[in-house]
Chain A
Amino acid sequence: MNEDDRPRFAWGFLVRRGLAVLAGAVFLYAGSTKVTDPLHFASDISNYQIVSWSIGVRLAFYLPWLEILCGLALIFHRLFTGAVVITSALMLVFIGVTVAAKARGIDVACGCFGSVSSSLTLTWHLVLNGCILAALVILWLTRDRAPVVSRFPAVR
């Protein structure tokens, strides 16, 4: 077997799966911490002063489940592209409202990971969310790549 006939290890595939599992785990964790205390999360949403309490409390019941489902979809590669789009949109919205709240002088507590996140500063939350968004963008841009390790010889 010469060099060209050997199966090639798909590093790209491994990196993409790693990113998907990592991003999925973050959303799964974020959703799980909030789903146990929706009224506390409603309070965090309300603090951004963008939506009324009644809308905020409804979002607080819905968004954690959406995060959990999208997290699972990213990890198990089911409904994958849809999950990438939804989680990217959630990230963009979150970063946007956080920056807007800061600009308006509102001292928000993020609430991204429920009460677990209370020891993280807002800057760190933004850095974390920026990294997750970057991972999601990479997953979106490489979504059409072969999802399995190539066992065929490379054709040159």
Chain B
Amino acid sequence: MRAILIRQVLWLVGLAFLPAIGQALYYRGDAAWQQPPTDAAQVSVAQARSWDAAVLWIDARPDEQFTTAHVPGAIQLNEDAWDKLLPKVLAAWSTERKVIVYCSRQTCNLSHEVAERLRKEDGLKNVYVLQGGWEEWQKSGQ
């Protein structure tokens, strides 16, 4: 029984390599093999500050982190309560305002997910992700 089980596991694990290697060869020239792809629509904290009042800040972090502290004036929007929180964002948004979404730190991707949904599902323009997220914002002195 154990021998059969091990053989089956090895078959499945081995078979999965074949299409995976083929697909990896197809993508071999992609720069993302070496480092994560960067979002062209990212802004640094310094750049965001220079935009000043024209910015609509969106906090994509979970409730408890938003409640503890957030960028002044930021509106919370995360995927846990998207439908409930979105109307407030849309009410505050206007075509002249730039939207900057942030999450905890550089490596989190909730801000990217929220920014993508705002662009695709709600058709918002000028949606950016804050480089370094909340961590970078705090380091910059606020």
Decide: A65 near B5, CB < 8 A? Known: A38-B27, A109-B79, A118-B117: no
Majority secondary structure of chain A interface residues (helix, strand, loop or mixed): helix
User: Which of A2-10, A15-23, A81-89 binds B?
Assistant: A81-89
Task: Give 7 CB contacts A-B under 8 Å.
Answer: A54-B33, A61-B20, A65-B17, A66-B12, A79-B8, A82-B11, A107-B110
Among B33, B37, B80, point to the contact of A121 (Cβ < 8 A). Answer: B80
Majority secondary structure of chain B interface residues (helix, strand, loop or mixed): helix
Q: Does A35 contact B (CB under 8 A)?
A: yes
Quick check: B9 and A82 within 8 Å, CB to CB? Answer: yes
A44 to B110, CA, bound (A): 10
Decide: A85 near B15, CB < 8 A? Known: A107-B61, A107-B62, A119-B82: no
Q: For residue A39, which residues in chain B have a CB less than 8 angstroms away from its CB?
A: 27, 30, 32, 37
Quick check: A106 and B108 within 8 Å, CB to CB? Answer: yes
Count of chain A residues with a beta carbon within 8 Å of a chain B beta carbon: 39
Q: Which bracket fits the contact residues of B?
A: 35 or more
Decide: A61 near B8, CB < 8 A? Known: A39-B37, A49-B107, A109-B113: no
Q: Does A47 contact B (CB under 8 A)?
A: yes
Decide: A70 near B104, CB < 8 A? Known: A38-B27, A44-B109: no
Give the distance to chain A from B7, nearest Cβ to Cβ, in Å: 8
Q: Does A53 contact B (CB under 8 A)?
A: yes
